[in-house]
Amino acid sequence: MSKAHHTLESRRKLTLFGLLLPPSAFLAVFFLGPLAIMIVYSWLTPGLYGGVEWKFFHLNYGRILGWADTKYERFDPVYFEIFLRSVKLAATTVLLSLILCYPVAFWVSRMPEKRKNLVIFLITLPFFISLIVRLFAWVLILRPTGFFNQALMGLGLIDEPLEIIFTGTAVIIGMVYVFVPFMFLPLYASIEKLDLSLIEASQDLGANRLQTFFRVILPMTLPGIVGGSIIVFIPSLGNFIVPSLLGGAKVVMIGNLIEQQFLSARNWPFGAALGMMVMAAVLVLLLYYIRIVTREERQAGGLKVAEEVAA
């Protein structure tokens, strides 16, 4: 009996080993490996003609954060400004997607079942459509000879085409359009779960609509808001495709700067250091998210305990 048990146990161990070995090996080499070497690169000396020298060098970060003032690597506040501008742009994208999606999620959550499924299908469908195709559509719309200007001129509202493409506004429109499906689903998931009786209770107890919204609805849908915001913020922050197609040379974001360091300026260590800035911003955000979620769970847990005690 115990022998049979023993072989069973060892066979299970073998299965587990077999299941985990290939993915572990693959990810250790091709995922953790590249990340580690990128971190190392950000502390190495850039070679004179591209390439890298394997010597410790802290001025890659110094150039961004302000302690490099030597002959070759100058500190220039412009890098940090670009970083901050990118954070601001990503935050604006998040805010606009949130404002766009929140009422829509409410609208969908109150539909009859069949219609609801159709509308959710329609809203999530763009996720399956190639990003480059969706961006191309906005190039066509916003160009000086594009649809938007033609329409306005056709209506006689303007005489000359407006300069929309190659501005910050164009980049924000493009970002929101591309990433808005990511915002919808988490928001919808938390609004769908909203307990309507709590809203009624709040109104019965004399709260007006604004109070009900800010004191009841908003806190209860917070996980969806925060989740959606993070999923939109992360790809917006380092994005260089949208700025390069809709922002042109005028709107340079941290993503464009990184791309230039790797593909034209060929200063890879500096590019890696810029990449680490993006990484740091994402990590800070995630830690914040984890804090909110665990607090949420603790509160939910507390509520459950209270219910059990009351029962």
Partner 1 sequence: MRRKISWRNLFLSVYGWLFLVFIYVPILLITVFSFNSNPVNMMIWQGFTFDWYRTIFGFPTELNELTLYVESTDQLYNAVLNSLTVALITTAVSTVLGTSVALAVARFRFRLKNFYRALMFMPMIMPDIILGIALLIFFVSFGFGLGLHTIIIGHCTFLSSYVFIVVSARISDMDDSLEEASADLGADGWTTFKRVTLPLIAPGVIGGAMLAFIISMDDLVITYFISGVDSTTLPVHIYGMLRRGIKPEINAIATVMLVFSFIIASVGLYMRSRKK
Site for partner 1 in 131-190 (CB under 8 A): 131-134, 136-141, 143, 145-147, 150, 177, 180
Return d(Cα 213, Cα 222) in angstroms, integer: 12
The verdict on 218 binding partner 1 (CB under 8 A) reads: no
The verdict on 125 binding partner 1 (CB under 8 A) reads: yes
Alpha carbon 153 to its chain centroid, in Å, reads 36
Q: Is 13 helix (H, G, I), strand (E, B) or coil?
A: helix
The verdict on 64 binding partner 1 (CB under 8 A) reads: no
Give the residue, chosen from 65, 119, 189, 207, that forms a contact with partner 1 under the rule CB under 8 A: 119
Give the residue, chosen from 68, 94, 108, 217, that forms a contact with partner 1 under the rule CB under 8 A: 108
Q: Footprint of partner 1 on residues 263-282 (CB under 8 A)?
A: 263, 268, 271-272, 275, 278-279, 282
Q: Whose Cβ is closer to partner 1: residue 139's or residue 265's?
A: 139
Q: How far is CA 110 from CA 22, 199, 209, 251, in A?
A: 46, 14, 18, 41
Q: Whose Cβ is closer to partner 1: residue 73's or residue 259's?
A: 259
Q: Footprint of partner 1 on residues 35-54 (CB under 8 A)?
A: 35, 37-38, 41
The CB-of-287 to partner 1 minimum distance in angstroms stands at 12
H or E element at residue 194: none
- H helical segments located in the chain: 2-27, 33-41, 59-65, 77-109, 113-124, 131-142, 147-154, 168-192, 196-204, 209-212, 218-220, 222-237, 241-242, 254-263, 268-310
What is the Cα gyration radius of the chain? 26
Give the residue, chosen from 64, 123, 171, 226, that forms a contact with partner 1 under the rule CB under 8 A: 123
The verdict on 121 binding partner 1 (CB under 8 A) reads: yes
User: DSSP character for 74?
Assistant: B
The CB-of-174 to partner 1 minimum distance in angstroms stands at 10
Backbone phi, psi, residue 45, to 5° = -85, 130
The verdict on 216 binding partner 1 (CB under 8 A) reads: no
The CB-of-66 to partner 1 minimum distance in angstroms stands at 23
Intra-chain end-to-end CA distance of the chain, in Å: 46
Q: Whose Cβ is closer to partner 1: residue 150's or residue 167's?
A: 150
Closest CA to 120 of 45, 188, 29, 198: 188
Beta strand 52-56 pairing with 44-46:
antiparallel
Alpha carbon 92 to its chain centroid, in Å, reads 12
The CB-of-214 to partner 1 minimum distance in angstroms stands at 16
Give the residue, chosen from 186, 223, 224, 235, that forms a contact with partner 1 under the rule CB under 8 A: 235
The CB-of-71 to partner 1 minimum distance in angstroms stands at 26
The CB-of-240 to partner 1 minimum distance in angstroms stands at 7
The CB-of-217 to partner 1 minimum distance in angstroms stands at 13
Q: Footprint of partner 1 on residues 11-30 (CB under 8 A)?
A: 11-12, 15-16, 19-20, 22-23, 26-27, 30
